[in-house]
Structure 1
Amino acid sequence: MSVDRSYLQSKAAREYQDRKMAKWMGFFLSEHTGSLKKDYNTGEAVYERQSPQEKMMLLSQAFTQKLEIRFTYIDSTKRTTFINGIIDVFDFDKVGVRVEGAYLFINMDDLIRIDYEE
């Protein structure tokens, strides 16, 4: 369906083609993405799990280089938790993290993702 704009003086205004829904896609995508990251039952953010291979690769790099990384994991109360720390113990079933002078052990099954600190 075309709109008659022949009465307008400006050629640009007469030949304007409305992009319809395309102009709203940026708004829709950000809102949609934000809502997808929420778990509607708990109201908590949902994070994509990294594959075991990806986790092992990132952990081994961080362990050998003594890098501080951010851990996203499920704690004993079944809530998503974040900590930043340096790996002191690295095993196939758990990771020992030094956090502010204390140690925390995280089971590999509870580990959701690992991100390098910037």
Structure 2
Amino acid sequence: MSKERDYYFEQYQDRKMKKWAGFYLSEHTAIIAKEQNKRPPEQKVQMSWIEIDAVLAKAFQEQLLVAIQKEELDSEGNYGEDIKGLIKGHDELGIYISDQKVGYDEIRHVDIS
């Protein structure tokens, strides 16, 4: 058995990093494809304060999930992802969703999820 083992290691050619290239490339290309397919969130219709208030009141009273688009653009001029969650509370300046405060003046659009 020793001779067979020695023969195997004499003939074996390690591919070194080449053996990992397939794994790396498939994972890497999947991430790149996902990023390229990701589109920035669309601009939703600007709601009036009366509409926003009605939706927020209903969501708070009935403990419904909401999705809020803030009136805020990133450096590329795109709107951010919606803030989603339950309304935990509110005060005179804004509401609390998932441990994040959103000011009433920052809300562009709100939907019940």
Q: What band does the TM-score fall into relative to the shorter chain?
A: 0.5 to 0.7
Tell me the equivalent position of 2:49.
52
Contact 2:68–2:84 under 8 Å retained in 1: yes
Alignment coverage as a number of residue pairs: 71
> What is the distance in 1 between the residues matched to 2:112 and 2:49?
17
Greater relative contact order (Cα 8 A, min sep 6): structure 1 or 2?
Answer: 2
Tell me the equivalent position of 1:80.
79
> What is the distance in 1 between the residues matched to 2:53 and 2:46?
13
Tell me the equivalent position of 1:107.
103
> What is the distance in 2 between the residues matched to 1:63 and 1:83?
15
Tell me the equivalent position of 1:94.
94
Q: CA deviation at 1:49?
A: 1.0
Superposition TM-score, scaled by structure 1 size: 0.52
Structure 1 stretches lacking a partner, 5+ long: 1-42
Taking only aligned residues, the RMSD between alpha carbons, in angstroms, comes to 2.3
Q: CA deviation at 1:74?
A: 3.3
> What is the distance in 2 between the residues matched to 1:44 and 1:61?
25
Tell me the equivalent position of 1:62.
59
3-state SS of the aligned residue for 1:109?
Answer: helix
Superposition TM-score, scaled by structure 2 size: 0.54
1:67-117 per-residue CA deviation (whole Å, 9 max, x = no partner) reads 11111113585752212100011234211002xxxx010111110111111
> What is the distance in 2 between the residues matched to 1:115 and 1:91?
20
Question: Which of 1 and 2 has greater Rg?
Answer: 2
Greater strand fraction, Structure 1 or Structure 2: 1
> What is the distance in 1 between the residues matched to 2:68 and 2:52?
10
